[in-house]
């Protein structure tokens, strides 16, 4: 982790070297954020207030065509949803959808949402890269919605930050910072009971709206349109707690003891009410739980492993005819290496977390953070570490698992 704030100009120059080309550096004003620097955006707007950005990405093209999106929604390992509002009735269905299960584009008032498109398409992944001025640990996915004229998902709020980028056609957004977030009852999706919009805009291709959590919003297509949602993950306290306790249980809390410590009650008397929970038993369990301890290092290991875990539907494509190690090294030294678009690589001051696995790898400190930040390494850089056979063995293993690929994307 950088010791100084990334706002520091020297750090900004250094960081530029390891950021992917699409991602703006913290102190450089960018059209993506309406001429603000990422540092200014994070200070003034992130988690605080909405921001409308006209022409955030001028000349944008939808990362996928309508037909490509429909084809993705037909696949078993892609999460998709169809929302219709025919005859003023909301209906909701989960995919996959074969093309003939979707209404025609001429039918009004329906929308198809395809989640995690960045996991399936490099163009979508490249678009997500532009938003890496926020930490990867917070970035969730890129969803693409297709809506026919009048289509939308109804007035609602989200519990996470989102950038809504118009990539095709027009959409009218209305938003409000209302306190009343009660929902209409008896509907298959979350629709606000009393939507009170305060602002309204029509977004055209390239325009973008940033919304912090809990801002009420409703986007209605004007003609057919496509919108990309760049969403961030915001785990609830109960999710964090349950995941951490699960991680702790999996890791084991019997620190170093070969035999697990078992519950014991040598003083248990015979009972006349066998169904009654003995208070002493509850007390003993309480005493065992009160002894469960964890360190800051445990918390880091949990956070890194958990947040780098691939989503449940992710399957890596291992190379069909993998290069042996020597040929892998020769090719990587020529063409460089790139993290697969599905790979999540995070790091802290002690460890690396790659797709849910923790590595200590002290010897990789000179190059692995840069690979994690820029998600690729050119051939020249690879040559300098190719003398360390431990590292090339490891990278070759990651390549065989489909976690990294040979070559650097343009
Ligand atoms: C959409 O793209 O239709 C919905 C996105 C959102 O409101 O979060
Ligand atoms: Co929303």
What range does the domain containing 197 cover? 45-232
Is residue 385 included in any domain, yes or no?
Answer: no
Is residue 218 included in any domain, yes or no?
Answer: yes
Q: Tens-of-pLDDT digits for all 410 residues of the chain?
A: 333 333 333 344 444 557 777 888 999 999 999 999 999 999 999 999 999 999 999 999 999 999 999 999 999 999 999 999 999 999 999 999 999 999 999 999 999 999 999 999 999 999 999 999 999 999 999 999 999 999 999 999 999 999 999 999 999 999 999 999 999 999 999 999 999 999 999 999 999 999 999 999 999 999 999 999 999 999 999 999 999 999 998 887 655 556 778 889 999 999 999 999 999 999 999 999 998 999 999 999 999 999 999 999 999 999 999 999 999 999 999 999 999 999 999 999 999 999 999 999 888 888 999 999 999 999 999 999 888 888 899 999 999 999 999 997 65
Ligand number nearest CA of 215 is 2
- CB atoms < 10 A from the CB of 150, how many? 16
Is residue 120 included in any domain, yes or no?
Answer: yes
**DSSP per-residue letters across 267-332:** TPPP-S-TTSPPHHHHHHHHHHHHT----HHHHHHHHHHHHTSPPTT------SSPPPHHHHHHHH
- Cβ atoms of residues 22 and 31 within 8 Å: no
Could you give the number of structural domains in the chain? 1
- 83, 152, 176, 216, best to mutate for ligand 1 pocket (most atoms within 8 Å of CB): 152
Is residue 197 included in any domain, yes or no?
Answer: yes
Atom of ligand 1 nearest to the CA of 153: 3
Is residue 71 included in any domain, yes or no?
Answer: yes
Is residue 325 included in any domain, yes or no?
Answer: no
Is residue 128 included in any domain, yes or no?
Answer: yes
This prediction has a pTM of 0.91
Which CATH number characterizes residue 129's domain?
2.60.120.650
Atom of ligand 1 nearest to the CA of 143: 2
Which amino acid residue places its CA nearest to atom 4 of ligand 1?
Answer: 153
Would you say the CB of residue 152 lies under 6 angstroms from ligand 1? yes
Q: Is the dihedral of CA 177, 180, 182, 187 positive or negative?
A: negative
Helix (H) or strand (E) holding 85: strand 80-86
Atom of ligand 1 nearest to the CA of 147: 3
Is residue 170 included in any domain, yes or no?
Answer: yes
């Amino acid at each position: 982790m950088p010791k100084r704030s990334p706002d520091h100009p020297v750090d900004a120059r250094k960081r530029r070297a390891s950021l992917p080309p699409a991602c703006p550096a913290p102190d450089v004003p960018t059209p993506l954020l309406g001429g603000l620097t990422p540092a200014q955006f994070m200070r003034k707007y992130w988690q605080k207030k909405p921001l409308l950005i006209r022409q955030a990405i001028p000349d944008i093209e939808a990362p996928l065509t309508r037909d490509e999106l429909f084809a993705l929604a037909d696949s078993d390992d892609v999460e998709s949803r169809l929302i219709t509002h025919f005859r003023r009735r909301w209906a909701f269905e989960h995919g996959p959808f074969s093309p003939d299960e979707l209404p025609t584009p001429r039918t009004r008032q329906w929308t198809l949402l395809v989640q995690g498109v960045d996991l399936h398409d490099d163009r979508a992944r490249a678009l997500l890269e532009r938003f890496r001025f926020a930490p990867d640990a917070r970035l969730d996915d890129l969803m693409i919605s297709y809506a026919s004229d009048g289509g939308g998902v109804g007035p609602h709020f989200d519990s996470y930050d989102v950038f809504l980028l118009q990539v095709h056609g027009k959409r009218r957004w209305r938003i409000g910072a209302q306190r009343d977030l009660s929902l209409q009852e008896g509907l298959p999706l979350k629709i606000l009971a009393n939507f009170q919009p305060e602002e309204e805009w029509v977004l055209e291709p390239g325009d973008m709206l940033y919304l912090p959590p809990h801002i009420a919003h409703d986007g209605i297509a004007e003609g057919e349109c496509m919108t990309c949602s760049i969403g961030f993950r915001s785990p609830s306290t109960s999710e964090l707690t349950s995941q951490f306790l699960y991680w702790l249980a999996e890791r084991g809390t019997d620190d170093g003891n070969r035999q697990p410590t078992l519950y014991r009650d040598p003083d248990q008397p015979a009972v006349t009410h066998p169904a009654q929970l003995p208070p002493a038993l509850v007390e003993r369990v309480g005493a065992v739980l009160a002894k469960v301890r964890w360190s800051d290092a445990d918390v880091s290991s949990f956070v890194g492993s958990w947040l780098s875990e691939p989503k449940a539907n992710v399957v890596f494509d291992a190379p069909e005819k993998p290069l042996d190690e020597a040929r892998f090294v020769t090719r990587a030294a020529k063409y460089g290496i790139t993290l697969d678009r599905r790979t999540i690589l995070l790091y802290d001051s002690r460890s690396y977390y790659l797709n849910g696995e923790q590595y200590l790898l002290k010897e990789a400190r000179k190059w692995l953070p840069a690979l994690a930040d820029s998600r690729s390494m050119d051939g020249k850089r690879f040559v300098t570490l190719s003398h360390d056979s431990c590292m090339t063995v490891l990278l070759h293993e990651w390549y065989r698992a489909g976690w990294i690929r040979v070559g650097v994307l343009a």
